Amino acid sequence: MGVEILDNGTRVLTAPGATFGTDALLLARFAQPRRNERALDLCSGCGIVSLVWHDAGHRGPCTALEIDPAASALCAAALAENADAAHIAPACGDLRQLCTAGPEQGQYDFAACNPPYFTAGPRSPDPRRAEARHTGSCTTADAVDCARRALRDGGRFLLCQRP
């Protein structure tokens, strides 16, 4: 397991198959919720986007949704090490199933997603890495549809995509 320390001391845990790249850091620093907004980090992996937001001062409720149980557990472990990050709730689940019931819809002010965006090309022999990089479990349309359900009217959604 690896540890990355962010600018203001927030600890991020990584492990093989649950790391983060430049895209996630750029998204997190470009797209930040307002201090008390209810935020949603889709495809959160090890929780890097939520943790960068926290490190930058976000203190509103935040859900870090990740389909990979090991990566979601890593996010939970990082939150245990960052005692002041209790406002972040790790959730292991499929974004295609999030906010599908009427009362669940429209509960977030802000959402961001760094989805897998490769549709073709060589796949990693490591199934976890392949799942994190290729669109098998999450397409751009899936992420947009989830944000449509999860966000209130006037909510903001930012998505990281290849040019």
| Token pair for 88 | 């972040």
| Token pair for 94 | 């499929």
Domains and CATH numbers, the chain: 2-159 (3.40.50.150)
In eight-state DSSP terms, residue 85 is G
The 10s digit of each residue's pLDDT in 35-93 is 999 999 999 999 999 999 999 999 999 999 999 999 999 999 999 999 999 999 999 99
pLDDT at 134: 45
The answer to whether 68 and 132 have CB atoms below 8 angstroms apart is yes
The 10s digit of each residue's pLDDT in 92-146 is 999 999 999 888 999 999 999 988 765 656 656 666 555 555 456 678 899 999 9
- Taking the model in full, what pTM does it have? 0.89
pLDDT at 17: 80
pLDDT at 75: 97
State which H helix or E strand residue 79 sits in.
Answer: helix 69-81
| b (16+ CB within 10 A) / e for 75-92 | bbbbbeebeebebbebbb
pLDDT at 140: 87
